[in-house]
C-alpha cells in the first residue's frame, strides 16, 4: 500500500527490499528539491520536479532548493538555460556586497546583485534591461535566498566549442 501511494519503492530482485522515497540517509549528501521556477515563498506550495543529491557542504542548509535556470535569467554570469542553480536561505545581515540573491520584487522572484548603501539596500536586476531597486527598510525586503552554486550537465554542452589556445 505504501508503494502504491509513492512512499516506498520495492526492489523486486531482493526479498523484503524496499527504498524509502524522499529520505536521504547518506552522510555526505543531502537531498534538495528541484523546481522549474522559484517557488512562491508567500505560502503557495509548488511541487518539486525531482530531488537532487548534492554535497552536504554545498546545500546542507535547511530550506535550500535548486531552480532550473531559464533563458537569460543569469546569462551575465555564464549560467545557461537548463543549468541548476542552488539557492540557500539567508538573512540580510549575512549578505556581503556583490552577493547574488533571489528576492521578490512585486509579484516576481528575480535574481539580483545585492549591495548595502547608506539608505538601505540596493538590488541590481541581472535580467537584460533590468532596473535597480532601492529598498530603504531592509526588514521590508522579501529575500528568498542567496545563490551559492550552479551545476551544468556536461553531456548537454554544445559540441562546437573552440579549443584553440589563445
- Per-residue cell: 102: 533571489
Most confident of the following: 29-43, 86-100, 123-137, 146-160: 86-100
| pLDDT over threshold 60, residue 51 | yes
Nearest CA to 79 out of 58, 100, 96, 63 is that of 100
pTM: 0.71
Higher-confidence residue of 160 and 100: namely 100
**Alpha-carbon span 159 to 107, nearest angstrom:** 38
Based on the number of CB atoms within 10 Å of its own CB, is 152 exposed (0-12), middle (13-18) or buried (19 or more)?
middle
**Other Cβ atoms closer than 10 A to 66:** 23
> For 16-21, what is the mean pLDDT?
80
**Other Cβ atoms closer than 10 A to 157:** 10
Based on the number of CB atoms within 10 Å of its own CB, is 105 exposed (0-12), middle (13-18) or buried (19 or more)?
middle
80-84, 103-107, 161-165, range with the lowest pLDDT: 161-165
**Other Cβ atoms closer than 10 A to 48:** 16
Strands 65-68 and 29-35: parallel
Band (16; pLDDT cuts 50, 70, 90): confident
Structure confidence by residue, pLDDT tens digits, 150-166: 888 777 655 555 556 65
Band (74; pLDDT cuts 50, 70, 90): confident
| pLDDT over threshold 60, residue 26 | yes
Amino acid at each position: 500500500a505504501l508503494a502504491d501511494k509513492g512512499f516506498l519503492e520495492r526492489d523486486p530482485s531482493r526479498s523484503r527490499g524496499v527504498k524509502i522515497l524522499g529520505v536521504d540517509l547518506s552522510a555526505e549528501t543531502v537531498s534538495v528539491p528541484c523546481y522549474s521556477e522559484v517557488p512562491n515563498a508567500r505560502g503557495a506550495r509548488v511541487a518539486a520536479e525531482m530531488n537532487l543529491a548534492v554535497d552536504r557542504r554545498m546545500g546542507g542548509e535547511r530550506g535550500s532548493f535548486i531552480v532550473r535556470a531559464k533563458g537569460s535569467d543569469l546569462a551575465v554570469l555564464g549560467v545557461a538555460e537548463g543549468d541548476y542553480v542552488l539557492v540557500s536561505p539567508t538573512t540580510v545581515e549575512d549578505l556581503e556586497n556583490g552577493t547574488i540573491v533571489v528576492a521578490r520584487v512585486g509579484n516576481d522572484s528575480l535574481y539580483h546583485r545585492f549591495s548595502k548603501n547608506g539608505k538601505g539596500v540596493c538590488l541590481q536586476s541581472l535580467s537584460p534591461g533590468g532596473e535597480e531597486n532601492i529598498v530603504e527598510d531592509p526588514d521590508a525586503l522579501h529575500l528568498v535566498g542567496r545563490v551559492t552554486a550552479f551545476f551544468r550537465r556536461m553531456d548537454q554542452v554544445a559540441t562546437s566549442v573552440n579549443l584553440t589556445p589563445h
